[in-house]
Amino acid sequence: MADEDTHPGMAKAWRPVHGPRPIAAIVPVVARTAFNRTAPGVAHLMEAWVGMVGPGLADVTTPRRLSQGTLTIGCSGPVAMELQHLSTELIGRINQYLGSQVVRRLRLMQTAATQTRVQPTPRPSRAVELAASEAVADLPEGPLRTALNALGRAVLTESASRLGKQPRTEC
């Protein structure tokens, strides 16, 4: 039996020489290579970054590394200055989101400024305007009807642009 294929902590007599291997024997090897590239804490931070810091800051910052309570954030120079002023609040929001005191300090690393492309909001088609108006036709005139009509136009326009289809006319 070859000992070099056996993962540390796995009973050598238990692993079959030929044939299927238990998944538990392979997961640590696969996970180790993935976590060497990105630490699990940073992977979780990157996944939930927009929810933690908000879309405005998430567009111009990137969590890079989390080590011994220090979170390294990549950002451009002007954003770094803003983050220094927001550091206490930002650390609080991140730790609240994670549910424990994981981050104690921020380290800001200057990176090239990223330019986000702002996509223009598509204008609602005539069909969208009619569908939204029909949906709120039974409501009395007033600010609620106006707000719901605008919301309906926005939702129908967004879904039509994502799907590349014409909106439904009945609601």
Q: What domains appear along the chain, each with residue ranges and CATH number?
A: 40-110 (3.30.300), 126-163 (no CATH)
Query: Is the dihedral angle over the CA atoms 158, 162, 168, 171 positive or is it negative?
Result: negative
pLDDT tens for each residue of the chain, 171 residues long: 445 555 565 555 555 566 777 777 777 776 666 555 555 556 677 778 888 888 888 888 888 888 888 988 988 878 888 888 988 999 998 888 877 888 899 999 888 755 555 566 678 888 888 998 999 999 999 988 888 888 888 888 887 776 665 545 554
Give residue 146's region: left, alpha or beta (phi > 0; psi -120 to 50): alpha
Q: Is 134 exposed, middle or buried (0-12, 13-18, 19+ CB in 10 A)?
A: middle
Q: Is 71 exposed, middle or buried (0-12, 13-18, 19+ CB in 10 A)?
A: buried
Distance, in Å, from the CA atom of 41 to the CA atom of 48, rounded to the nearest integer, reads 11
* pTM attached to this predicted model: 0.46
Distance, in Å, from the CA atom of 136 to the CA atom of 148, rounded to the nearest integer, reads 7
Structure tokens at 38: 């990105």
Distance, in Å, from the CA atom of 158 to the CA atom of 59, rounded to the nearest integer, reads 21
Distance, in Å, from the CA atom of 119 to the CA atom of 131, rounded to the nearest integer, reads 24
Backbone angles phi, psi at 110, to 5 degrees: -75, 130
